[in-house]
Every structure is written in structure tokens, then in C-alpha cells.
Structure 1
Amino acid sequence: MCAPGSRRRGRDACPGSGPRGPGGTGEGRAPARNAEGAHARNRLGPGAAPGTDAGGSLRRVDALAASLVAVFGTALGAALTHVFQRRNALRAESVAREERLRQERVAAFSSFAGALADYRRGQLDHWYARRREEPGAEQLRREAARLRAVALEAMFRAELLTDSAELAARGRRALKESDRMDLSRTREELEGPRARSREAVYAYVAAARGWVPGA
């Protein structure tokens, strides 16, 4: 037994005479540290080292972010592709519609101008046959009336393809000048409406060109 206050050295040192911890003997601090380490290892899992849990969380966050970016990029790419395809389809449809309108106008305007030319010729044939009192004058009159009906139908078709009041007025003027040819009593009187009807047809064609896309 060590006497109170006595101090020994070496192997004869008194048990428990070392530095004391906060709670009593000096042996109390080591067991506490061992218990804390065991608790930390149990929390991290078997074989896990301190700090590995934070690293795994960061890797999971990075993987999730990469997945979200990939999904967003795919969705954005699909949306842009749809927009561009829709725009190209609308552009192609617009081009096709303009081309179809151009062809319809070319056909209608040229048909009306050709019908006017045929009607003018029919009026001239009837005028000369009536002037000479030829037997076929009545038949030529009916033919001229038929040609006028054809020209009138062509005029209506051409007017349906434009909203130009000026172009419609030019076409009606050309038809009216052709009507006046049959009212002439002499060749001198015939020359006036004949020349005016010809000029009116040319003026109509020139004005119609402005309504043909790409002309």
C-alpha cells in the first residue's frame, strides 16, 4: 500500500498515481475516446472511413444533375426540331399555295385575253358579212354571241382570282369596246372601236402581269 502523499518510481509506482481525467482516475479518458470512435464507425457502416458519406452524397448529386441536364437537353432538342419542322412545312405550304395561285391566274388571265381576241374576230366577221349581205351573216352573228358568252365567263373567272377593281375595270372596258364594233355603220366608224378594243386587250394583259407572282 502506498502511503498518502508518498511517491514511488518505476515498477513500484502506485497504481492510479498517473494523471487523472476529469471524472476520476487517469484511465477514464481512453475508454471514452474508444466509445466515440466505435459509435462513428457504426454510423458510417462497416468498413467505412470517416468522410466517405459526404463524398458519396456529392457523387449522387452530380449524377442526378447530369441526368436532369440530359433529360432537359433531349426535351429541348425535340421541341426545337418540332418547331423547325413546322416552320419548314408552313413555308413549303405557302410556296405551294403561291405557285398554285400563280398558275391559276396565268390560266385565267390568258384565257380571258384569248376569249376577247376571239370575240373581236367574231364581231369583225359578222360585221363584214352583214355589210356584204352574205347568206351566212346570221350564223356569224350567233357565233359572235357565243364567243361573247365565252369571254364573259372568262372575265368572271379572272375577277374571282383578284380583288383589284382597276384590273376588273380594264377587262370590262375591253369587252365593251368589242361590243361597239358591231354597231358601226361604216368602215371609218369601225376603225375607232376596233383600235380601242385592241388597245384595251393589251392594256388588260399588261395590268394583269402585275398580279402574277414571279412574272
Structure 2
Amino acid sequence: MGATATYVFQMRTARQARQSAREERLWQERLAAYSAFAGALTDYRKSQNDRWHRKQEDPESAEYTTARDDSYRQRAIATAALFRLRLVTTNQELDELASLALRLTEEIHEATDEQDRTDRGRKARRALLNFAQAAAANVQKVDV
């Protein structure tokens, strides 16, 4: 009887340890995915601003072409980071905030003038900050 009870407790303890390790790995993956997305979107926003400025200077220049190509590359990186984020969270609010931040960043280069570009950049930055705040709250939750 004692051996059976010991076996049952050991199995329960092992199962709890595995569950705890799984939750810790998922927490770490979420933190990494949220951080990677924020970093990628920050780089993408910078490239979008650079693309807009180079186009204003000379839309036929090699500098503009380089800036445009860099913005495409940064968009691909940000989109991949968004997909990674979606793989590690079921939080619909985070998904929506991240998607909005990406969409607003994509629109920066479409600005018609400097004020429009500034406004679009601010909206994109604010959307990213909103995402970061929600992501921070998500990863700081402690289950008691």
C-alpha cells in the first residue's frame, strides 16, 4: 500500500514538474516573440521614414531604390515576427494591437507631406506602445 501511494505521489509530482517546465518555456517564448516583434517594427518604422525622405529628395535616385528595398526587407522581418507572435499567444487583443501597429507602420511611406508623415509616424509609434503595454501586462501575470 505504501509503495502504491509513493508511486502515485511521484507520478503527480512528475506531471506537475513537466507542466511547470512547459509553462516556463511558453512564457520565455512569448517574451522573446513580443520583444522581437517590437524590435522588428521599430526597425521597419525607421525604414519607412527613410524611404519617404529619400523619395521626397529624388524618386529616381539609387538612394530611394535602396531605401525602398530596405523597407520591403524590414516589412518581411516584421511580418515574420508577427506570425511568430501569433504562434505563441492566444490573446486576441495582442494580435489585434500588433496587427494595427504593423498596418499603421506600412502606411507611413504613403504620406503626402511632412506633417502627414509625422502624424502617421506618431500613430504607428503609439500603436506599438499600446501593443508593448498589453504584452508587458500579459507576460507579467503571475499565476498564484
Q: Same fold (TM over 0.5)?
A: yes
Bigger radius of gyration, 1 or 2?
1
Distance 1:112 1:90 in 2: 33
Query: How far is 1:204 from its partner?
Result: 0.6
Match of 1:200 in 2: 127
Does structure 1 residue 144 correspond to structure 2 residue 71? Answer: yes
Deviation at 1:125, TM superposition (A): 0.8
Contact 1:180-1:193 at 8 Å conserved across structures: yes
**Deviations, residues 112-170 of structure 1 (Å, cap 9, x unaligned):** 11110000000011111111115411111001011001100110110111122221110
Name the amino acid aligned to 2:46. R
CA distance, structure 2, for counterparts of residue 91 and residue 209 of structure 1? 26
Q: Which runs of 4+ in 1 moved over 3 A?
A: none
User: Does 1:132 find its partner at 2:57?
Assistant: yes
CA shift digits 1:88-117 (9 cap, x unpaired) = 101111110011001110111111111100
1:181 to 108, 125, 133: 108
- Between the aligned partners of 1:97 and 1:182, the Cα distance in structure 2 is 42
Q: Which has the higher contact order (CA 8 A, sep 6+)?
A: 2
The answer to whether the aligner puts 1:112 opposite 2:71 as a matched pair is no
* Structure holding more helix per residue: 2
Quote the offset at 1:210 in angstroms. Answer: 3.1
Looking at structure 2, the residues matched to 97 and 132 of structure 1 have their Cα atoms a distance apart, in angstroms, of 52
Q: Is residue 158 from structure 1 mapped to residue 85 from structure 2 by the alignment?
A: yes
Distance 2:19 2:136 in 1: 21
TM-score, scaled relative to structure 1: 0.62
Q: TM-score, normalised by structure 2?
A: 0.92
Measured in 1, the distance between the counterparts of 2:136 and 2:125 equals 17
Segments of 5+ residues of structure 1 without an aligned counterpart are 1-75
The root-mean-square deviation of aligned C-alpha atoms, in Å, is 1.4
Instruction: Identify the residue that residue 99 of structure 1 maps to in structure 2.
Output: 24
Aligned partner of 1:199: which letter?
R
1:73-98: CA deviations, max 9, x gaps?
Answer: xxx11011111111110111111001
The residue type paired with residue 141 of structure 1 is R
Stretch of structure 1 that moved more, 205-214 or 141-150: 205-214
**Matched AA of 1:160:** L
3-state DSSP of counterpart to 1:163: coil
